[in-house]
Amino acid sequence: MFKKIVLFLSVVSLGFGYDLKPIQISKSVYQFIGKTEAPSQENGGNMVNSYWIKTDKSYIVVDTGPSYNYAKDAHKAMKKIADLPIKYVFNTHMHDDHWLGNNYFKELGATIYATQAQAKKFPLGSEAHMLSVIKKEDSVNTKIINVDKLVGKDFSMKVDNISLDIIRLNFAAHTPEDIMVYLPEEKTLITGDLLFSQRITSIRDGGVEGGLKSLDAIEKLDVQVYGIGHGTFTDKTALKQMRSYFMALKTTARKAIESGIDINTYVKTADFSAFKNMAMMEILHKSNLGFAYSEYEFFEEK
């Protein structure tokens, strides 16, 4: 009986385990899909998509997830496909659900690329909100580390047999700085949170106009497979859903302002019933309405 209790406590102390399963979305790219819900103790912060690019000699990781344990579990799953060293890590933007696994990969010798916005907001030794949300046992060993290289502009690189274009937006979209990773030979684009499907985005660190502009930039690329930040679709579904939501924010906010409707009334009365089935509407939508109204209150179309 005592042994059973000790075993039970040992399992509990380790947390629930992420049980991550990779999905191959193109010749070289594998995806781990998170839940379309807010981070919580129940999901261990697993509400984000992360990506692995397999070359003939190594791995490149795009977004490392919400914790050290998440990154470790992802690596364990990918070693079953091929036990290769991790050469590079790219963080698509500064939101901490996407990169708190960095230090796991740094321990393995990977070079970490990220934005200046991320490095500025999260210097060495700072705190991440995610770690106050998930269980303590699920955040074990997770810590903020320095970024190795800042992505200040677009560049291309050849990693073993894979060609990559690193695209850094020069305007605020989802955040002040967003990065995309494009594999032109596979027509695959990893967008981070510039694209969502099945749940709405948050515009607290970006804006509607920047979001729309980012969609225009994405549509100019020759893409067949989209590696999006949240949601399951890899076709153009996310593009359509994002544009529809952004345009609804823009048109309703501008109409309210032109009609003399104040921000509080707008937030309470704007009709977004067409999006009622999108996940996280109750959590994020009202704040998005407020941000959209403020953005367009003194806006001049260019």
Report CA Rg, the chain: 20
Mean model confidence pLDDT for the chain: 94
Whether 9 is covered by a domain: the verdict is no
pLDDT given at position 301: 79
Going from the C-alpha of 94 to that of each of 13, 46, 47, 140, 175, the distances in angstroms are: 30, 17, 16, 21, 7
Question: Is the CB of residue 105 less than 8 Å from the CB of residue 58?
Answer: no
The helix or strand, by DSSP H or E, that contains position 77, with its residue range, turns out to be helix 68-79
Whether 10 is covered by a domain: the verdict is no
Going from the C-alpha of 1 to that of each of 6, 7, 11, 89, 224, the distances in angstroms are: 9, 10, 16, 46, 56
Whether 5 is covered by a domain: the verdict is no
Query: pLDDT digit string (tens) for 222-268?
Result: 999 999 999 999 999 999 999 999 999 999 999 999 999 999 999 99
Query: pLDDT digit string (tens) for 122-142?
Result: 999 899 999 999 999 999 999
Whether 35 is covered by a domain: the verdict is yes
* Residue 193 token pair: 């949170």
Does pTM surpass 0.85?
A: yes
Question: Is the CB of residue 106 less than 8 Å from the CB of residue 144?
Answer: no
Whether 203 is covered by a domain: the verdict is yes
Compute the C-alpha angle 4/10/12, nearest 5°.
Answer: 105
Question: Is the CB of residue 171 less than 8 Å from the CB of residue 208?
Answer: no
* Residue 107 token pair: 């321990």
- Percent of the chain with pLDDT strictly greater than 70: 94
- For 148-176, give one letter per residue: b (16+ CB within 10 A) or e: eebbeeeeeeebeebebebbbbeebbbbb
User: Does residue 167 surpass a pLDDT of 50?
Assistant: yes
If one counts the domains in the chain, the total is 1
Domain that includes residue 254, residue range: 16-296
* Residue 285 token pair: 């939508």
Strand duo 149-150 + 50-54: pairing: unpaired
pLDDT given at position 17: 77
Q: How far apart are CA 225 and CA 252, in angstroms?
A: 32
Length of the chain: 302
Whether 6 is covered by a domain: the verdict is no
Whether 301 is covered by a domain: the verdict is no
Q: How far apart are CA 229 and CA 169, in angstroms?
A: 16
| Beta carbons within 10 angstroms of residue 212's beta carbon | 17
CATH of the domain at 148: 3.60.15.10
Whether 180 is covered by a domain: the verdict is yes
Burial environment of residue 281 by CB neighbours within 10 A (0 to 12, 13 to 18, 19 or more): middle
Residue 214 identity (one-letter amino acid): S
pLDDT given at position 134: 96
Question: Is the CB of residue 253 less than 8 Å from the CB of residue 216?
Answer: no
How is residue 199 annotated by DSSP? Answer: B
